[in-house]
Amino acid sequence: MARKTNKKTSKKVSAKASKKSPRKAVPKAGGTKAVSPRAKTPLNKIPLNKTPAAEKAAGKTHALAEGMAAPTFRLSRDDGSSVSLKDFAGRNLVLYFYPRADTPGCTLEAADFTRLASRFEAADTAILGVSADPQAALQRFRKKHALSIALASDETHAMLEAYGVWGEKTFMGRTFDGILRTTVWIDPKGKIVRIWRNVKVAGHAEAVLDAIRGVFS
């Protein structure tokens, strides 16, 4: 009987001891309480996970710069053939990027480059309009407006992104991704001479021609 009483007593004592002795927290390395790195960093210093739109707003779409080698490309043309950067080696190339075939601003721009095509040719300069329209749409566009300049299609956006002209746009309160109206002048050695961004169509083709003639006249 004595042994049974001792076991019960020892269990009660052990239970009381566990209640009176709270569990001690194990100290973190260095003997201080761990603190979240974000808690120590001022709010204006915390790096944010940028969305594609934020990256574009921060200038990611403008990676291309004057003096750089022009990115290579191979695209489908309006007539069903293909066109590449190396096809223009040894002469100037004006790449003009426009949002959509057969819309008012894009039609005016294409008509202006067509009107001045012979003068660009005299300045040893080729013209290539590029959009994300399918090849069939470009063919209709060229035929409808009797365009003499070449048009190329980049439905994958790979070349458009390489040239920094595919980005976030806003129109009538709506935000979307599309082509930023841009013109790039590439010299006979494949170097970028000048980039016109946020192009205003009126008078633009003349301004590009004047810039080229000012160097090569």
| 3-state class (DSSP) for residue 4 | helix
52-71: b or e for each residue (b if 16 or more CB lie within 10 Å)? Answer: eeeebeeeebeebeeeeebb
Helix/strand/coil for 117: helix
Query: Are residues 93 and 194 in contact, defined by beta-carbon separation less than 8 angstroms?
Result: no
- Work out the end-to-end distance of the chain between its first and last CA atoms, rounded to an integer number of angstroms: 120
Q: 169 phi and psi, to 5 degrees?
A: -130, 160
Residue whose token pair is 């921060």: 58
Alpha-carbon distance 85 to 73, whole Å?
A: 6
- Give yes or no: 162 in active site: no
Q: Which of 106, 110, 116, 127 is catalytic?
A: 106
Helix ranges (DSSP H) in the chain: 2-20, 37-40, 52-57, 104-115, 117-122, 135-144, 158-162, 204-216
Helix and strand numbers (H, E) in the chain are 8, 9
Catalytic residues: 106
